[in-house]
Amino acid sequence: MNFTLKIWRQKGAKDSGQFVTYPIKDISSDSSFLEMIDILNNQLVEKGEEPIAFDHDCREGICGMCSMYINGHPHGPENLITTCQLHMRSFKDGDSITIEPWRSSAFPVIKDLVVDRSAFDRIIQAGGYVSVNTGNAQDANNIPIPKTDADKAFDAATCIGCGACVAACKNASAMLFTSAKVSQLALLPQGQVEAKARVENMVAQMDKEGFGACTNTGACSAECPKGISIENIARMNREFIKAKLSSENV
Amino acid sequence: MSSKLNSNIPKGDLRDKWSQYKSEIALVNPANKRHIDIIVIGTGLAGGAAAASFGEMGYSVKAFCFQDSPRRAHSIAAQGGINAAKNYQNDGDSVYRLFYDTIKGGDYRSREANVHRLAEVSRNIIDQCVAQGVPFAREYGGYLDNRSFGGVQVKRTFYAKGQTGQQLLLGAYSALSRQINAGTVKMYHRHEMMDVVLMDDTTDAKRGKVARGVIARNLITGEIERHSAHAVVLASGGYGNVFFLSTNAMGSNVTASWKAYKKGAFMANPCYTQIHPTCLPRSGDHQAKLTLMSESLRNDGRVWVPKKKEDAIAIQQGKKTALDIPDADRDFYLERRYPAFGNLVPRDVASRAAKERCDAGYGVNGTGEAVYLDFKYAIERMGAKAVESKYGNLFQMYEKIAAEDPYKMPMKIYPAVHYTMGGTWVDYNLMTTIPGLFATGECNFSDHGANRLGASALMQGLADGYFVIPYTIGGYLSKDIRTGSIPTDTPEFDEAEKTIKERINFFLSNKGSKSVDYFHRKLGNIMWEECGMARNEKGLTQAIEDIKKIRADFWKEVLVPGKADEYNPELDKALRVADFLELGELMCRDALNRNESCGGHFREEYQTEEGEALRDDENFAYVAAWEFKGVDNKPELHKEELVYDNVEMKQRSYK
Ligand SMILES: Cc1cc2nc3c(=O)[nH]c(=O)nc-3n(C[C@H](O)[C@H](O)[C@H](O)COP(=O)(O)OP(=O)(O)OC[C@H]3O[C@@H](n4cnc5c(N)ncnc54)[C@H](O)[C@@H]3O)c2cc1C
Ligand code: FES
């Protein structure tokens, strides 16, 4: 298959970027999207040009590293997959494909398609944990947890932290990401003790990082490669109100 | 045992060794811990758990990872589960049984004392993770669910759908995040360790040269940084990417442990590689990595190839499909050869059996390198819904990649490189042959012998990180309470920094014409053909020469674009592949030295009449620990004899 790629090139955080067009030929339809970029990069390197910088690692949709905005969609046109799981058979021969980085002021571009997502780490650091030291735990089966709760907590916990939700949102809101962690822990007995402080601190950090407000468009969940449900946002809002009503954090 | 190797296994009865020893290890008091720095390289399960635990204990920790966040370590990709001897299923499991299964599964090439400790602490891991909020699968009554995994006859594997590694890593990541927030851990993401720095021990001359820091490279700015500490813990994962194609993440590398090797940390059993039986077959030259389908699929899927050669050929030519082959003409070769364990034989056995059938011409895709994993029977037995609830996400993943519906068509699978049992040699304290340098998780060699059982790597990573090294490192650091902080303006740091800068400059100024991947692929092909599922003397001898040639070409012909002071992934790759090119040779040497077959190491010259691995306990019941003697010189072999006081060494049988 042959394609015309329009790829965002940007030297560094402070440089301005632009689209550069690269034709590419003879790509197998079984090749993955990132393998196609690998092929292009090898061609660029062998011509002595700089390859396109992009983030990737596991290449099986779980590490959350890959992050390309393809033809107007985070992770491309297919639902419920990451960029690394996208295959060229999802495109038509001769297609023109536009590839950009995540766009959000909270995710500054490092180079080309690589952005800095450390804001997400700082949100988790603000409270996305249970404060249990190693060795403090009781027997794992001492507290039975209803399967439905455990399953829901699991579903929320499957967030891979890729940032597609932010990239998809016109306000660049991080509500889906933050609420997934808040929900996971809110649904489990282990998360109760610190529930109030957690939601307050995580939301405060999210605001501090410069993510936008949520206006309930649902684009985040629709574009999420893991299908994280928008219910989590509702749950976080409830948790937040509960916390504020009896806040000890002044 | 070689005079340079002391495994430091405590005396006493196997069952009491660890608890006895733990209560005797020297302690560092809380006020002193603050003044003691520990560097942790890697924040996967092993490193993340260790760094978090050190932080909680009050040490001052610096942790490094090359990804943009600790949450993305390769541990995240583990699917199937984690073992623990909880006996929640009341099916007769016990610490001893887990210990025994692991020793046997490892084909009697691991240390009794380490493995027993692993089995003991396995129970604490599950408690810890549940307390952190890890959402393991549960039964309707609300209690934890278990599944069974290859090589064992009890159900002791805890899981979170097909995403167990993700959930465990996010648990460790949350504990680590808490310590970062508390200020006990400073996290350096997008940083790569380039070298370990050794210095004379100023407090205890007997210790000689000890690990006192690392050189790291900031992958965004390219800056070379110096970091000092009283101890350095490697948790940098496995080196399966030496094969180019593997199930490991693209960035997984050997650099941290290889640099340690070149500074004097022995590499143990480097040839022990696990080739996982249930991966997606290769499809073409464009391929950058291989995808694993969880072994848990073998619980309900049946593995087969056609009985008749003509059927296999028709399938290879696309004239027939699996659905055209009636049950009577299907060869369920695992069930046929291993009636007791059937489809649940250990990985090495299952992989070789697939290779045997494909080599004989019974492969089921165009390349002839694939076998079927069929869920038709499970769907008949328990219904498609039940199959979906157990394996839904794995089926989805398969369909996305293979573009075939596994509910209708059996999956096609083939073995692929997955895990490295070999690694940096460590003693019972997880300390390498360099004092003050420790190694944990997949990057060390301990616990799995010549073959790892499924769901045991997660267990080992977390055991090392949460429950072993936090204790054992204290014994070492207790002698450092008066050392004071370690300076970085020393000749040793100068030298290490200079060497790495020279290497970087070389790459960026070399006027070659071939990309790094070109050489990596070539190396990978040789490793797969000659040091993969089956090895022999002739092939290995040739491979050593071929690798030397590729290495020489690499240094002449490699082309690395870009600059040193910018984000430059091609440079990152070049630095890693340079180390793989040396490691590959050592793996072949180790495989050549081991004139026996054991676990994942199968030497064609040493097999039983039925084609099973033939061990030589008389001559090879030892750990092969290699000492670096220069890139172009032969490394020196040191032997750690393995002594079995508690289990009888038998031929492994799964029949
Ligand atoms: C697809 C797949 C599925 C698996 N499924 C299972 C399973 O179901 N059950 C099971 O028990 N095991 C499984 N395994 C094996 C298991 O996941 C790994 O062995 C284990 O997670 C390794 O953990 P680790 O902490 O040692 O290393 P990793 O998780 O690989 O972490 C390595 C860390 O080191 C860092 N690092 C590496 N080099 C450097 C450097 N030079 N400088 C700085 N940082 C560096 C990385 O950034 C990373 O943080 C699976 C493996 C794969 C590939
Ligand atoms: S590379 Fe890991 S999710 Fe895409």
In the stretch 398-427 of chain B, residues with CB closer than 8 A to chain A read 400-401, 403
Domains recognised in chain B with CATH numbers = 275-416 (3.90.700.10), 494-616 (1.20.58.100)
> Which chain B residues have a beta carbon less than 8 Å from that of A15?
none
Output the pTM of the full model. 0.97
Mutation test residue for ligand 2: of A32, A38, A66, A224, the one with most atoms within 8 Å of CB: A66
Q: Is A58 in the pocket of ligand 2 (CB under 6 A)?
A: yes
Q: Is the Cβ pair A65, B167 closer than 8 Å?
A: no
Q: Is the Cβ pair B288, A34 closer than 8 Å?
A: yes
Nearest ligand 2 atom to alpha carbon A85: 4
In the stretch 120-149 of chain B, residues with CB closer than 8 A to chain A read 124, 126-133, 135-144
Alpha helix segments (H runs only) across B139-214: 164-182
CB pairs < 8 Å spanning A and B: 222
Percent helix, percent strand, percent coil in chain B, to nearest 5: 40, 15, 40
The mean per-residue pLDDT over the stretch A194-220 comes to: 97
Nearest CA, atom 15, ligand 1:
B457
Nearest ligand 2 atom to alpha carbon A62: 3
Residue B1 pLDDT: 54
**Ligand nearest to the backbone CA of B67:** 1
Class of domain A118-249 (CATH, top level): mainly alpha
First-to-last CA distance in chain A?
Answer: 60
How confident is the model over B567-593, as pLDDT tens digits?
999 999 999 999 999 999 999 999 999
The mean per-residue pLDDT over the stretch B218-246 comes to: 98
Tell how far the Cα of A61 is from the centroid of ligand 2, in angstroms.
4
Q: Is B65 in the pocket of ligand 1 (CB under 6 A)?
A: yes
Residue of A124, A220, A68 lying closest to B176 (CA atoms): A124
Residue B653 pLDDT: 78
pLDDT band at B518; cut points 50, 70, 90: very high
The mean per-residue pLDDT over the stretch A71-90 comes to: 96
| B653 C-beta neighbours (distance < 10 Å), count | 10
Which residue has tokens 């190396």? B523
Q: Indicate whether B3 pLDDT > 70.
A: no
The mean per-residue pLDDT over the stretch B631-655 comes to: 92
CA distance A91 to chain B (A): 14
Q: Is A81 in the pocket of ligand 2 (CB under 6 A)?
A: no
Q: Indicate whether B128 pLDDT > 80.
A: yes
CA distance B30 to chain A (A): 15
Name the residue of chain A whose CA is nearest to B79's CA.
A62
Long-range (24+ apart) CB contacts under 8 A made by B564-568 are B564/B222, B564/B504, B564/B505, B564/B508, B565/B221, B565/B222, B565/B223, B566/A11, B566/A12, B566/A111, B566/B221, B566/B222, B567/A12, B567/A53, B567/A110, B567/A111, B567/A114, B567/B219, B567/B220, B567/B221, B567/B222, B568/B222
**Ligand nearest to the backbone CA of B291:** 1
Residue B148 pLDDT: 84
The alpha carbon of residue B468 and the mean position of all alpha carbons in its chain are separated, in whole angstroms, by: 18
pLDDT band at B397; cut points 50, 70, 90: confident
Q: What is the ipTM of this complex?
A: 0.98
Residue B2 pLDDT: 60
How confident is the model over B144-163, as pLDDT tens digits?
999 888 778 899 999 998 89
Cα separation, B323 vs B409, in Å, equals: 7
Q: Indicate whether B645 pLDDT > 90.
A: yes
Mutation test residue for ligand 2: of A32, A54, A75, A82, the one with most atoms within 8 Å of CB: A82
Q: pLDDT exceeding 90 applies to what percent of chain A?
A: 95
Alpha helix segments (H runs only) across B478-608: 491-509, 516-530, 537-557, 569-593
Give, in order, the Cα–Cα distances in Å from B363 to each of B289, B327, B331, B358, B555.
21, 17, 12, 4, 39
Which residue has tokens 């006020």? B31
CA distance B111 to chain A (A): 25
Q: Rounded mean pLDDT of chain A?
A: 96
Residue B400 pLDDT: 87
Catalytic (active-site) positions of B: 347
- Lowest mean pLDDT of A152-161, B370-379, B393-402, B428-437, name the range: B393-402
Residue A249 pLDDT: 57
In the stretch 176-235 of chain A, residues with CB closer than 8 A to chain B read 184-185, 188, 190-191
Residue B205 pLDDT: 83
Q: Is A205 in the pocket of ligand 2 (CB under 6 A)?
A: no
B140 near B108, Cβ under 8 Å? Answer: no
> Which chain B residues have a beta carbon less than 8 Å from that of A82?
none
Which of B178, B292, B400 is facing A129, going by the closest CB pair? B178
Q: Is the Cβ pair A120, B69 closer than 8 Å?
A: yes
**For B78-115, what is the HEC assignment?**
CCCCEECCCCCCCCCCCHHHHHHHHHHHCCCCCCHHHH
Tell how far the Cα of A161 is from the centroid of ligand 1, in angstroms.
18
B236 near B389, Cβ under 8 Å? Answer: no
Residue A247 pLDDT: 67
Domain ranges, ordered by start, for chain A: 3-110, 118-249
Which of B137, B403, B561 is facing A49, going by the closest CB pair? B561
Reduce the DSSP state of residue A109 to 3 states and report it.
Answer: strand
The mean per-residue pLDDT over the stretch B5-24 comes to: 96
How confident is the model over A138-170, as pLDDT tens digits?
999 999 999 999 999 999 999 999 999 999 999
The mean per-residue pLDDT over the stretch B262-273 comes to: 98
Cα separation, A77 vs A79, in Å, equals: 7
Tell how far the Cα of B444 is from the centroid of ligand 1, in angstroms.
12
B379 near B407, Cβ under 8 Å? Answer: yes
The H or E element containing residue A232 is helix A231-245
Which of A61, A124, A150 is facing B177, going by the closest CB pair? A124
Residue B149 pLDDT: 80
Q: Is B406 in the pocket of ligand 1 (CB under 6 A)?
A: no
Q: Is the Cβ pair A60, B397 closer than 8 Å?
A: yes
Q: Is B446 in the pocket of ligand 1 (CB under 6 A)?
A: no
Nearest ligand 1 atom to alpha carbon B255: 41
Q: Indicate whether B460 pLDDT > 90.
A: yes
The mean per-residue pLDDT over the stretch B255-278 comes to: 97
Tell how far the Cα of B203 is from the centroid of ligand 1, in angstroms.
35
How confident is the model over B167-187, as pLDDT tens digits?
999 999 999 999 999 999 999
B449 near B107, Cβ under 8 Å? Answer: yes
| B282 C-beta neighbours (distance < 10 Å), count | 15
Which of B165, B250, B283 is facing A59, going by the closest CB pair? B250
Residue B282 pLDDT: 87
Name the residue of chain A whose CA is nearest to B159's CA.
A154
- Lowest mean pLDDT of B54-68, B387-401, B501-515, B520-534, name the range: B387-401
Q: Is the Cβ pair B144, A141 closer than 8 Å?
A: yes
Reduce the DSSP state of residue B529 to 3 states and report it.
Answer: helix
Q: Is A63 in the pocket of ligand 2 (CB under 6 A)?
A: yes
B452 near B459, Cβ under 8 Å? Answer: no
Reduce the DSSP state of residue B449 to 3 states and report it.
Answer: coil
Q: Is the Cβ pair A49, B562 closer than 8 Å?
A: no
Q: Indicate whether A248 pLDDT > 80.
A: no
Tell how far the Cα of B645 is from the centroid of ligand 1, in angstroms.
32
A134 near B CB under 8 A: yes
Q: Which two tokens stand for residue B303?
A: 């593995």
Nearest CA, atom 52, ligand 1:
B78
Regarding the domain delimited by A3-110, which CATH topology (the fold level of the hierarchy) does it fall under? Ubiquitin-like (UB roll) (3.10.20)
Q: Which two tokens stand for residue B167?
A: 């959930």
Cα separation, B192 vs B215, in Å, equals: 9
Q: Is B235 in the pocket of ligand 1 (CB under 6 A)?
A: yes
Q: Rounded mean pLDDT of chain B?
A: 95
Q: Indicate whether B204 pLDDT > 90.
A: no
